[in-house]
Amino acid sequence: MSQQTKLLDRPWSMQAWRPYMWDLKYSAEIGVLLRPECGPYDAVLPGSVQTTLLRHGVIPDWNIEQNSLACEWVEHRHWEFVTEIEEGEIPTGEPVQLLAEGLDYSGWILVDDETVGTFSGALKRHAINLGDTIMDGRKHRLRIIFDIPPEEQGQVGYTSRSKYLKPRYNFGWDWSVRFVPTGIWDSLYLLTGSPSVTLTNTFSRLSRDLQTGTITLRLNNHCSSAIPLRLVLCDRKTNTRIEYEAELGPGSQEQEFHLQNPRLWWPNQQGAPDLYDIEVLYETQDQQISILRSKIGFKHVRWLPCEGAPENARPLLCEVNGQTLFLQGVNWTPVLLDYPDFDMERYDQLIRLYHEMGVNVLRVWGGGHLEREYFYEKCDELGILVWQDFPLSSSGCENYPPVEEDFICRLSEVACDYVRRRSHHVSLLLWCGGNELTTVPDHEKNIRPLDETHPALQALGEVVSAESPGISYLPTSPSGPEFAVSDKTRGKGLHHHVHGPWDYCSTEEEWHNYWNHDDALLRSETGVAGASDATLIRRYAGEMPVAPISLDNSFWRHTSAWWLQPWLANDSNKCDLEDYVEKSQKRQADFLAFALTRCKKRFPRCSGVLIWMGHDCMPVGNNTSIINYDGTPKPAYYAAKEVFQNHCQQEARTC
């Protein structure tokens, strides 16, 4: 028997230590008891150190002015989260584990003053044995102490040196400032005792004739005798209940359950995304123990050659349930700069906006984090396919992932955890090795997307094959053979899966000429810069002047150094901000609508286009996003919505 005790919904406190003073305890010279440098503060979890400090007025709002610079000292402390385990709360004599699904980044677990374990890794689950210290049924303090975060690279650097598997956007990207959160970002609970059965993976598939749905469970029976298993499916539309029974022999095994003529899950605009409620239980000592309560659906995906594609091109045309589908989507980046601070309403708002826009696929970009269970649940419900990158990304100077064996082992461990945590979601479309991973630049600075011959990307492909059968894997996005479309390679059959452009044209004529001669098969990043709303810019500029609209102004350099368009201002020194915003947003909307329309009109020669990018995780002056930080759409959102909603695939095929 086992028992779970949730930890997030109880009182927690937080305090800061100068590094390792909590471990020394007493000063070496005169034996003074060492105390925290600041705190304790009441803390709400999940959440970060920074969220708690902001709530208590210790640091300023990092979104205003250049206040993020005043928050960087937080990275240079050890931070302790403490809660009380009450007397009698834990059964005596039973082994106890701390199960943590999101700790960023590394540190120590203590019971009272005894260190019982360590952890390292922001993007994988941790199971820490608490030893004998907590098995006596008495009152104890559970302490989680975070080390100083590793010095990872931001957008610019060398991917071969990026080995921490920590969200890199927090170290600074073209759309985010440096802000490195420490904290607890996902579920946290105690497991007492030893479960008789554990479920390691769940996934569903649908036969090609769409007649048979199959649910596969991978389980481990830890007992020496057989255990009865029961799976219950509930049809959410008819309220019918279907039950299956099986016997689990000892050890690891796979169980399959079949459903004839299931309701199908369809992508947005193609039909209803039908789901079933699923529960899996096993019986022990005359008790029914539930090990899975979720929703599941059935879809069949095939990848076909695009019309007119070169023979050596990957099959990039998506077919769902026998119908080819133009992939029209958005690159999904983290919702907040302070990602441990889970904002359910913000997730609801953004996913709803994308659904209403006509989006049928969201690509979860590789410089962020594994998206939350809640995100996947909403995509399941709304018929939005999910393309999930693994946590690797480009670095500008060099985009070649590490090849060291120990790194690849850690990467594979994280990837396996990604897959096992999310593979039961019917919205899952494909796994991707990472963002813009390429060869080392040659003497002319030429690069090519990598393939599965790179050791790290080969290892990721092996994880997907073993743990997520039936789900496709791309080694990187773009997968090439050319990284982007250029005049010298256009028409040579080299533009299969590409990225770009990101607003490289200065005139409308140049932009139209580029897209009128496009021959790419799939574009998974294409964007145009546009200013945020003027009211938002003024609100978060605080006391900083917004004039001039120039990179000579530190306000614009702080958040918009890559995307500012000073040439659109009549006189940047006079700063008619509203006029500048209007021109910038109109240009973004017009340029983006033209690009999307040209891509969709080429279907099925072009299989899809994904906008870079969807939303801002912090207030910025200019960016390629189509939704402002406050959740209000820019004009480009409505322009894209018109293309996605009103230019149906049948129209596109006849254009």
* 233 CB neighbour count, 10 Å cutoff: 20
Distance separating alpha carbons of residues 121 and 137, to the nearest angstrom:
31
For every residue of 76-108, which 3-state class applies, written as one string?
A: HCEEEEEEEECCCCCCCCCCEEEEECCEECEEE
Give the phi and the psi of residue 101 in degrees, each rounded to 5.
Answer: -95, -5
Distance separating alpha carbons of residues 305 and 105, to the nearest angstrom:
42
Tokens for 596? 């999307």
Parts of the chain belonging to CATH 2.60.40.10: 196-296
Dihedral of the CA atoms 155, 161, 165, 167 (nearest 10)? -10
- pLDDT in the model for residue 654: 35
Q: What is the largest CA-CA distance in the chain?
A: 85
Q: Can you list the alpha helix ranges (DSSP code H) found in 447-494? A: 455-467
Parts of the chain belonging to CATH 2.60.120.260: 2-192
Distance separating alpha carbons of residues 134 and 140, to the nearest angstrom:
7
Exposed / middle / buried, residue 513 (Cβ in 10 Å: 0-12, 13-18, 19+) = exposed
Q: Are 199 and 219 in contact (CB under 8 A)?
A: yes
Paired sense of beta strands 157-158 and 396-398, if any: parallel
Q: Which DSSP category does 641 fall into?
A: H
CATH superfamily of 360-473: Glycosidases (3.20.20.80)
Parts of the chain belonging to CATH 3.20.20.80: 360-473
- pLDDT in the model for residue 650: 42
Tokens for 455? 């050791």
301-304, strands of its sheet edge to edge: 301-304, 317-320, 323-325
> In sequence order, what DSSP letters do the residues of 245-290 get, joined into one string?
EEEE-SEEEEEEEEEESPPPB--TTTS-B--EEEEEEEEETTEEEE
- pLDDT in the model for residue 571: 66
Q: What's the CATH architecture for 196-296?
A: Sandwich (2.60)
- pLDDT in the model for residue 461: 98
pTM of the predicted structure, to 2 decimals: 0.96
Paired sense of beta strands 176-178 and 171-173, if any: antiparallel
CA separation, residue 447 to residues 34, 95, 400 (Å): 54, 53, 10
**Residue owning tokens 């990187």:** 476
- pLDDT in the model for residue 574: 67
Distance separating alpha carbons of residues 451 and 475, to the nearest angstrom:
6
Residue whose C-alpha is closest to residue 13's, from 87, 92, 82, 85: 82
User: Does 3.30.70.141 match the CATH number of domain 2-192?
Assistant: no
pLDDT tens digits, 218-252: 999 999 999 999 999 999 889 899 999 999 999 99
pLDDT tens digits, 65-108: 999 999 999 999 999 999 999 999 988 888 999 999 999 999 99
Tokens for 571? 């006189």
Paired sense of beta strands 183-184 and 47-48, if any: antiparallel
Q: Can you list the alpha helix ranges (DSSP code H) found in 423-519? A: 455-467, 508-516
- pLDDT in the model for residue 92: 87
Those residues of the chain that have pLDDT short of 50 are 648-655
